[in-house]
Structure 1
Amino acid sequence: MLSAGYRVSCVDSVSLAKQFLSNHAVDLILLDMAVMTEAGPAMVQTLAGTDCVILVNEHQAYLAAEAMRAGAIDYIIKPFSQRQILDVVRGALRLRQAIPNLIATSPQSLQVLQLARRAAKTSATILIGGESGTGKERLARYIHEMSSRAGKPFVAINCAAIPEAMLESILFGHSKGAFTGATANQQGKFELAQGGTLLLDEISELPLALQAKLLRVLQEKEVERLGSHQVIALDVRIIAASNRDLRELVLQGAFREDLFYRLDVLPMSWPALRERRDDILPLAEYFIERYAAQQGYRLGESARQQLLSYDWPGNVRELDNVIQRALIMARGLHIQAVDLMLPHYAAEADTPQPQALAAPEGLSETKRHAEFQFVLETLRRFRGHRTRTAEALGMTTRALRYKLAAMREQGIDVEQQIQN
């Protein structure tokens, strides 16, 4: 461990371990069950907040399973080689680095991450379900980083964001002269992901004709570029994601049943944010740190209560946007409920409330400009789509129209800005 550049501290009892941890911050604990015989899996629970890898003898394998259930992130059976323990340590530290993008406090989230870590150790195809904005791509990246393919390409393609006429070429590549405008050979996403992981996001939007070709690629583990007969062998781990029920689409004839079963080898679902409310405040605090590090912003009690009571139809993506907006609107370092500008519930959600959209009296020109820029950036992200932009901003489409009208009154050419 020392020769690999790690700083290591050793203790030989539970009491000394607790004493050391109370005075020192550590990145990873290697807990040897053979040495700390009095520890047991319960020791893992007392180390909450610190990543823990369990070391066990062959006859103690049952302890590893118990420790994993208690929260350990991995285990290794003795005897092991230097390479084996270094691989486990590196994987555990990559896991630590990946966690900020996947805040997991609630039991539901922790269960998903535990399944993801197991899935990462296999080469099986994974199908991730979940509502839009829950963080399916982040979960896919997490699996990639925890796998033996970490360090190799992670390539993502959103099947819903690419015109159907271009999708085949982008997925599978094309050769020079394959179609008008194909002036050179072009690698597809499968080739670009060689050795790594390919995420097929919004797989439900893939046209039926391309579903058949995708099925052949998955079965044969090889691809032919559009306009070419050259076969290219593939070594790519496939993760698919969808916010729609693929089983229902199969019944409707909109998705191939054979492709569904090819993808649904290891299914998992990232819960909606309203189903894992224990994650809301840690996520909000993470976004505050991400966007305003060192500035000292804090969530006031009224903001905390409103964040916890809101149902988050846009999930983590909406929470991200709400925190960005609150940092702009806050008049001090304590973010209050009014700064969140969350929409009203139920029937009130469709009631126009222009007074809630106007910049607060006394709001500085700098903050007003920052707010307008935030709206424009969100519009650009959704290519000017008003409904999706309003959902991301946490307001009704009617409220967004009021906001855009106010921007035009300030001399902002909204349509021109969207195109920039």
Structure 2
Amino acid sequence: MSQAVRNWAGNVVFSPRNVHAPVSVEHLQELVNEAGQVRVMGTGHSFSALVETSRTLLRLDRLPRTVEVDADSRTAWVSAATTLGELAPRLHERALALPILPSLPHISVGGACATATHGSGNDVGSLASAVRAVRWVTGDGEVRTISRGSPRFEGVVVSLGALGVVTHLELDLVPTFEVEQHVYEDLPWSSLLDGGAEIFACASAVSVFTDWRRSPSVWVKRRSDDAPVDLTWTGARKASRPRHPIAHLSAENCTPQLGVPGPWHERLPHFRPDRVPSAGAELQSEYLLPRDRMTEVLRALRELAPLITPVLQVSEIRTVGAEPHWLSPSHHRASVAVHFTWRPDAGAVSRVLPRIEHALDPWSPRPHWGKISMTSPRLLASRYPYWAEFRALRQDMDPSRKFANRLIEDWFLVDHAGSAGDRADERR
């Protein structure tokens, strides 16, 4: 009898015929070559059914963790199964840092890049924007490498595991830096709606947390060598003790606050790598929308507060820079990202999401690939200018559909791509 496999949240449960944990790249090549259909599971932090399969599931947590740093070029080859929490301290020891760090250090480098997982910052894209090269195992068990500047590179980096099994990525690095973190409470909604652009531009990483009814809080992560930040002009007040994004929870799992300087990797994430991230029992959704329409987006969601708040634990609002990767939700579009951490009630969430997506539809929201969404394949295709190009890339690199599953086939099997005029509109 096959054993049930669950994602981190427990909302995706499936029973693959075979589960393998290769111990080397060579072992991985053999398994992929012999398998009929393959999906890969990293740390299991996706809330969508990206890894679900009835055939062969590969877990990469037993592969060697390798980090090969070139200090002169400020780059590193990193094994895809390495978590951000494992990678960051090793880079810091070499006086180096990632230019981008998502909010959770618990996730793997490969999974974060494959789904365009991001942190916060006007001038930075997702972690995928730091990728210089990708090395992966193809359906016939061969190892291929593609580098930035190569044709179709932008289609390979964010590929949802649909092109093969990524084993290593080469990443851009920057000199290490320190960060100070402050939380501002009781931000008036009028200040966020009227001055959101200024708030998100005040530091290198800014997050706003809200339940869409009460006054939001602002988490400011300022590089210690940048100018000081003072948000008292907004009417918000600086917190006098550490806070959790979910107001009633203890801050013991959160990274240090109150302006105490510390290494980048101990401040940019919201949660400590050895603690439970977020609430623990939860579901998540997220939508990326044009940043220049932020005020309209937030007003539309505020109108849905009576519907959203009873099902919600907390929402996080961030900004993300534009990037070139074909399937990145911030592809060619500076974005505002609106994240929802829901109560673990799938039925209630499924009733709320269509209302949210309908309200956001005028601004072409692009869901995070690893979160829960009700967006149809047709709408997804209309919102990605290179949807057809990715379908052609997938046909070329995986003609036998070895790396498909039900979700991937639903998205990409049929040509849902919009017209040339639709695509031109999406490039704005």
Structure (1/2) with the larger helix percentage: 1
Q: TM-score range by the shorter chain?
A: under 0.3
Structure (1/2) with the larger strand percentage: 2
| TM-score, normalised relative to structure 2 | 0.22
Larger RCO of the pair (alpha carbons < 8 Å, separation 6+): 2
| TM-score, normalised relative to structure 1 | 0.22
